[in-house]
Structure 1
Amino acid sequence: MSSAPNHGTVNVPEPDLSGRPGSPLSIAGHVQQVFSHVKIENLVAGLSGGVVSTLVLHPLDLVKIRFAVSDGLDFRPKYNGILHCMKSVWLQEGLKGLYQGVTPNVWGAGSSWGLYFLFYNAIKGYTKEGRQTELSATEHLVSAAQAGILTLTITNPIWVTKTRLVLQYNADPTGKQYKGMIDALVKIYRHEGVAGLYRGYVPGLFGTSHGALQFMAYEELKRDYNKYKKVASDAKLNPLEYITMAALSKIFAVATTYPYQVVRARLQDQHNRYNGVIDVISRTWRNEGPVGFYKGIIPNLIRVTPACCITFVVYENVSRFLLRQNE
């Protein structure tokens, strides 16, 4: 006699613990593998380098941004060069004027460098896992680009506040809108919403190519130089060698990608309204020609090259010290 079908129970599939691709166990394993390469030492070392270089060189960053947005508005001060700009700000606003926007810049640079080195080394370690061969230039480029996108997504609101604070002028008819970093963050969010905090994000994404090109060049230069010296590819260099590698890689990246920084600064400028990236590009090209996309590049090179050198020297030494302590 056949048994009646059981309508009172539901067949629940057993969880797939086989480790096959796509199974929960497989996904968890991949996540665990990625996080096994996350080292807080890289975060601390990158943050240290970013903070030190920012505190030393912030006035040049202020000059670069003011040149980048100089589009002829009447209330903007007119500068004849880097020294004239710095002298004018000093005479009108003193040391405080030269360090306008330093708080979000320190937060932004420190967190950006820290997160960038954290993500970059984790992605690089995961990519290299189980291999005997070195990563290729393309793999360094891709790892750095992924790290850049993650970092930008977290830090973009800080960069918007920095730009807004740097672009507060004494002669501005609207007066100074922001009292500091927190006040700027709150007011931007209140009046412009999340979109306001993510102004410049799209050109910022293009800007991740800057970091990717810089890190690729830095890694390749280090590796080729160590091969030339016939030592291990990850052998420690002296400070002068690190400075040289960092400077060459930074100059290469800046020369290749600078126009996006002008576009980004103009999108974040509270004194102008653009309808997106294409509008900025077309108006800048129409009104100022190709040179408009390279405004501020000289103060930028003067600032970012030593900033990069300081950051990388501090990072390499602090990370090696911390990792050695843990071992």
Structure 2
Amino acid sequence: MTKRASYPIGRPGMPWGPAEVSTWLARQTRKRSYEADVASRVEALRPRFDVLQYGRLDYRPDSYPLLAIRSREWRDDLPCVLVTGGVHGYETSGVHGALQFLERHAQDYAGRANLLVAPCISPWAYERIHRWNMHAVDPNRSFRENSPAEESAALMRLVAPLRERVRVHIDLHETTDSDESEFRPALAARDGVPFEPGEIPDGFYLVDDSENAQPAFQQAIIAAVSKVTHIAPADANGQIIGSPVVAPGVIHYPLRKLGLCAGITAAPYRTTTEVYPDSPRATPEQCNAAQVAAVCAAIDYALAHEPVPA
């Protein structure tokens, strides 16, 4: 894979200002339809679930309803499950995996758990197959007070009343070759720092919370996903994306400190999935299925085990 050492916008060592952001924005084009791919499938779920509009992105000339799906038979005595996808719009299996879970498996948990699923948190970025929103802000570093990303702020408002009640939160992501060829070089250029090439792992892995690690929970997910697609090995340094591998297919991040989506609740069981769609060993169907397997395994484990204290 060819690694780009520079980026065509901005000057080396100088963070972007409004002019550079405008130049970057002018390069972004719509490549697929949120309405056709996501909203229409959510609409088809109305006979079985409650559909909520929890916000709207007004990114002129475009406007996007932010949609979530909730168990119709919501009960206060049941544990709550949060599934999120499409925080990074270009990570396709996160969106379609969440929708596929709803279509094929969500009703298996009726009467056992309250489900809340936000399948496409960043619809503008979904249409443009991009990591950032239209302001060149990464929503998945923006889940914090006074968030600069409306995508992140809207989800936090939705989840706030349930924050202490969520038993498990699984956030669905991908790691792609374009991370290294486009998005990390763009990030370095935006922030005015040198681009340091990395290595893209070949396979599925998980990001656990370093502040409340749940190794048995993570390994239950890895075991389920390994039946669908391959698990990413550690690199020559014993790492995945620069972090030490603490168990097969698992690394740690401080979720809340970094403003990551998986840290927005007090859920004792939380994780971020990472699927590798560019692998010659995986198809788009396998990537979606891996996300679904991860969601089901996460819920099954959380319902079967009392939370382990931090």
User: Structure 2-normalised TM-score?
Assistant: 0.31
TM-score normalised according to structure 1 size: 0.29
Q: In proportion to residue count, which structure has more helix?
A: 1
1 or 2, which has the higher strand percentage?
2
